[in-house]
């Protein structure tokens, strides 16, 4: 199984809502990532988890809260978002975070709209 799955595919939420995005992989990868992609822009890294520990936070606002409960699962908890947070949220995984473990496998993304 060489797939990264993300749920839901689409999410519409109000600014006062709390929601979560879910990402799952069963490739035995020990590094997982969250990226944000605005329309017609390249993906931007948000968080890196290595061996279930947060190793990189790219100064992401606290209204985005990542969680890695086990090596296969990555969540992104959303609270009090702003309309400008509307974007495609991509999850990725790789065997390890560093060294010559080149390939990151990306999921199809969750399209988030904040009203």
Partner 1 sequence: DAKTTQPNSMESNEEEPVHLPCNHSTISGTDYIHWYRQLPSQGPEYVIHGLTSNVNNRMASLAIAEDRKSSTLILHRATLRDAAVYYCILRAYNAGGTSYGKLTFGQGTILTVHP
Binding site for partner 1 (CB under 8 A): 4, 31, 33, 42-45, 48, 50, 55-56, 90, 92, 94, 96-100, 102-109
Pick 42 or 69: Cβ nearer partner 1: 42
Query: Is there a contact between 20 and 75 (Cβ–Cβ < 8 Å)?
Result: yes
Residue 30 CA to residue 42 CA, distance in Å, equals: 24
CB of 109 to partner 1, least distance (A): 5
Pick 17 or 37: Cβ nearer partner 1: 37
CB of 91 to partner 1, least distance (A): 8
CB of 80 to partner 1, least distance (A): 27
Beta carbons within 8 Å of 33's beta carbon, 6+ residues apart? 45, 46, 47, 48, 49, 91, 92, 93, 94, 104
Pick 67 or 80: Cβ nearer partner 1: 67
């Amino acid at each position: 199984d060489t797939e990264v799955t993300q749920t839901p595919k689409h999410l519409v939420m109000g600014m006062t809502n709390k929601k979560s995005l879910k990402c799952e992989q069963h490739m035995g990868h020990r590094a997982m990532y969250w990226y944000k992609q605005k329309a017609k822009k390249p993906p931007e890294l948000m968080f890196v988890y290595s061996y279930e520990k947060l190793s990189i936070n790219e100064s992401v606002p606290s209204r985005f809260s990542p969680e890695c409960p086990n090596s296969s699962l990555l969540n992104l908890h959303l609270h009090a978002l702003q309309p400008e947070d509307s974007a495609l949220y991509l999850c990725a995984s790789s065997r390890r975070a560093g060294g010559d473990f080149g390939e990151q496998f990306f999921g199809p993304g969750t399209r988030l709209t904040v009203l």
